[in-house]
Amino acid sequence: MSGQIVSYRDAGTKGPKVGLFRRDRDVWHCGNRILKAFANCLDPDETPQNVASHQDQNYELLQSVQANQQSAQANQESAQANQESAQANQESAQANQESAQANQESAQANQE
C-alpha cells in the first residue's frame, strides 16, 4: 500500500477504505501557493546580506535629512537676525541724519 493511506469508514460500514494522499497533496499545493504569494511580495533585494546595508543606508539618509532640517532652521534664524540688524542699522542711520540736521540748524543759529 505504498503511496496510499488507510482511513476507516464511518461506523456501520465494512472494512477500511484506501485513499490516495489527496488531502495531503491539496494541503501541500495550498501551502505552496501561499509561500509563492508571500515570496512575491518580498523585496527581491532583501537578502540577509543586503538587509544590514539597507538599514545602514536608511539610517544615514535619516541622519542627513535631520542635519539638513537643523541647517535650514539655523539659516532661517540667521536670516531673521540679519533682518533685525538691518532694521536697527536703518534706524541708527535715520537718528544720525536727524542729529546732523539738528547740528546744522544749531550752527546756523550760532551764525545769526
The model's pLDDT over 36-67, given as tens digits with 9 standing for 90+, comes to: 766 666 666 665 555 555 556 677 888 889 99
Domain total of the chain: 2
* CA angle, residues 27, 32, 34, in degrees to nearest 5: 95
pTM over 0.95: no
Q: Give yes or no: residues 69 and 35 share one domain.
A: no
For residue 50, being part of any structural domain is answered with no
Q: pLDDT tens digit string along 68-104?
A: 999 999 999 999 999 999 999 999 999 999 999 999 9
For residue 48, being part of any structural domain is answered with no
Q: Give yes or no: residues 98 and 64 share one domain.
A: yes
For residue 49, being part of any structural domain is answered with no
CA distance 94 to 101: 11
- Which residue type is seen at 21? F
Host domain of residue 80: 59-103
